Amino acid sequence: MNAADALIRAGRALVEAGLSPGSSGNVSVRTGDRVLMSGTGTRLGALEPADLAELALDGTHLGGARPSKEVSLHLALYAKNPTHTAVVHVHSPSAVALSCLEPWSEHSAVPPLTPYALMRVGQVPLLDFVVPGDPAMGELITGSRHPFRAALLANHGAVVSGEDAATAVDSTIELEEACRIALMTLGAPRRLIAAEQVVAITQRWNMPWTGNAHQ
């Protein structure tokens, strides 16, 4: 599957999962030193090849549609995770809602409640609010001392990278579920996964987790 087909399929999968209402969200796929990205104002569930923008890794627009204003967000995550070849940014309901709350901990807004989030996402820091499209958003990603493949953007949504487009989509779906469960359990006496098991799971699945499991 070529990069354009992978990107189009990813967009449709996100819409089918209910994670990209209206024309919100954007997806990109990196091939070598080029990035294909959904164009501004496009609907992820109805992408066509003409809706895709081609960019260099420095953000230069090389051709195709006008890229989304979130270019810096995508390029920063590729820089942070250089082995990853896809980035998803969505305004999914549970991720947005959790991003409007104070984070569970300094290194992860999402507490370790289920093994699946640990297996597919790991820690999910909350990044400070900046206006959507502001290049400072990319600086928050590259400047973070925490390793991560997913983050919540304060009062905004989620961004996720993956080794390929299908993995990035699956991780985004799992993150939304983890955020939903975190919201459902707010105010209740939570039973977190034991700290040593958090470490064992994330290490086995090669997911980032650098903080104390119960802080």
Active site residue 102: no
Using H for helix, E for strand and C for coil, what is the string for the chain? CCHHHHHHHHHHHHHHCCCCCCCCCEEEEEECCEEEEEECCCCHHHCCHHHEEEEECCCCEEEECCECCCHHHHHHHHHHCCCCCEEEEECCHHHHHHHCCCCCCCCCCCCCCCHHHHHHCCCCCEECCCCCCCCHHHHHHHHCCCCCCEEEECCCEEEEEECCHHHHHHHHHHHHHHHHHHHHCCCCCCCCCCHHHHHHHHHHCCCCCCCCCCC
Active site residue 116: yes
Question: Which of these is catalytic: 54, 70, 174, 177?
Answer: 70
Amino acid at 65: A
Question: Which of these is catalytic: 16, 48, 54, 116?
Answer: 116
Q: How many other β-carbons are positioned within 10 Å of the β-carbon of residue 185?
A: 13
Catalytic residues: 70, 116
